[in-house]
Amino acid sequence: MTSKYIRLYNQNTEPDCAFFLEEGRVFFYPNTADKYAINGHGLIFGATEIIMGNMAHMPMLRIETAVTGEESRIKRMSLDKFRAGMETYSFLLNVSMVLAQQVLLTNQIINKNLNELAGDEKKTRELSMEYFTIIERLRKEYDKRRLPWIAVILKEFELNLTCKRGEAYYRSAEPVKITEIQSLSDKMVEYSRGSVICEENSQGDEMYILQSGAIDVFIGGNCVATIEEPGTVSGEMALLLGQKRTATLKAKNSVVLTRITKKDLKEVAQKESSILQAIALSLAKRHYYNVIKIADITEKTVNNQLDGEAATHKKASLSQQAMKDLATLKSRVQDAIYEKKADFLKDVSELL
């Protein structure tokens, strides 16, 4: 790094302030092998760790190193000023747009690095995510019902590496959830079964909050997911960044959505300030978990390059272990559902 570059903060240091980019460019390094840049003017950055500590109650050190050039104009922003700003619309929108850009750019790094891995690594990722999805479902049922036998299963299965790896991937794609928005009833729209809500690759400037019904998500013509939980948000990245839609959404049955366009956003935020705050928190979480994913993938890529055949064996053992862990979990849950007549876990049994 040449002398014309200035370190704003280092990875693994205390997040003691945010920053205001008056004009210029900032480079972010999740590790020594990857970087991305945010450029423009009037942008607030360095927010992820502060939001995670204050809103998610997950105190953390800086997850990236930030560097800028001498030509950039940047001011430090105190934590008190940042927290006060998070109560205002324009400040929240600014922070959310920068976070959305960071999520988008770290997603690009993840996709690039995944392409360098063999298919077996992708298999490990998919198996780990499936494992964590089952664990997360069991956690929700335990919180609701407090059944001792669910606690026993969780204690046995939720602390292994397959679960932790799956959580990092799952959390980075976890949707925003917003409830209690009765004041926005005038923004509600009903879609009949089979109706197209938005199309893949179309330009987007609105987001949707599911009120009732179910939505099928299609990518490349294939149904990849179904959204059923009320309060789930779709399209916030398109709303904030004007990005093209990454998927087609279709009404699986009769669906009611709250539809919010960019021109509606200020009015909506004034009625329901929690909406933009929830979006900012969700984006901060996704940025955080994206950086964890980047570190995990980069480590595997470097090991593959350095270790040759030894790395191939290690890679195979990771997927085999994930497959073994998932099979054991599925068998244990299936037996419990049968023995306890746990019909409330019927949707889980369909995954087994």
Furthest C-alpha separation in the chain: 68
* CA atoms of 197 and 206, how far apart (whole Å): 11
Contact in structure between 161 and 167 (CB atoms under 8 Å): no
pLDDT of residue 113: 82
pLDDT beyond 80 at 346 = no
Q: Percent of the chain at pLDDT above 90?
A: 54
Residue 131 CA to residue 233 CA, distance in Å, equals 24
pLDDT per residue over 84-141, tens digit each? 999 999 999 999 999 999 999 999 998 888 776 656 677 887 888 889 989 998 999 9
Which of 85, 104, 103, 15 minimizes the C-alpha distance to 44?
A: 85
In this predicted structure, the answer to whether residue 219 has a pLDDT above a threshold of 70 is yes
Q: Does 305 have pLDDT greater than 60?
A: no
Supply the CATH classification number for the domain 183-269: 2.60.120.10
Q: Give the per-residue pLDDT at 183.
A: 73
Percent of the chain with pLDDT over 70: 88
Contact 40, 58 (CB under 8 A): no
Please name the residues in contact with 309: beta carbons below 8 A apart, sequence gap of 6 or more.
Answer: none
State the average pLDDT over residues 284-289: 94
Note the pLDDT of residue 167: 83
- Residue 1's pLDDT is 45
